[in-house]
Amino acid sequence: MCYDHIVIPLAILAARWLGMNDALALLFAIVLQTMSFRNSNGYGVSEHLETPSWKWPVYGVGQGSGAAPCAWLIVSVILFSVLKQTSHKMEFIDPTGCTRHARTLDGFVDDATSGESDAHQAIPFGPAQLTQTIQQTAKTWERLLHVSGGALQFQKCSYYAIMWHWKHGIPCMIDVQEKKYKVSIMESKTGKNIPIQQRQHCQSHKTLGV
């Protein structure tokens, strides 16, 4: 999801829910709904001015807009909160069991990374349950983006499915390799089932902000 796909009424409602002043929210909405703009692409800048209307709505707050980061933050707070309530989490526990830390999703601008673990489970995940929880969280996130105006960039998506193998008391990471445990997501817009790239535990990759 990027700034160009933000649904403006949804962003305004989210801002009000988070406590934005009525007058400020109204000003924000009026400016975004009534401003005119020109399209710019590889062929140049259009001469014709575009103005949003109920028949031809325009999404997004515009690249380079000072309001864009705030609008995306407002919307993402809601999406992150919903995902936290509906999905699994990754929990880290120290050897004594006294210190715990859990998180569902980390985001940097419009890039997001989620995690699942079984540290808090009485019975460890098998490969089927591990990939199922990964897929369910990814599916939920894709749906949340879709209903809020955004979309997953599937070519940028990937996942790790890692389990522990103990040999003579020493833990070793192993990847879930079976084809029947691969992760795929149905794209809400097209209904197509899209396989997600699996990365090996020893394979690093860069994301936004790295």
Domain ranges of the chain: 3-70, 87-198
Each residue's pLDDT tens digit, 101-156: 888 888 887 788 888 888 777 788 888 888 999 999 999 999 999 888 888 889 88
Residue whose structure tokens are 């929880």? 133
In the chain, the percentage of residues whose pLDDT exceeds 70 is 98
Cα first-last separation, the chain: 19
Q: 186 vs 84, 91, 143, 168, CA distance in Å?
A: 21, 27, 9, 42
- Segment holding 170, helix H or strand E: strand 170-175
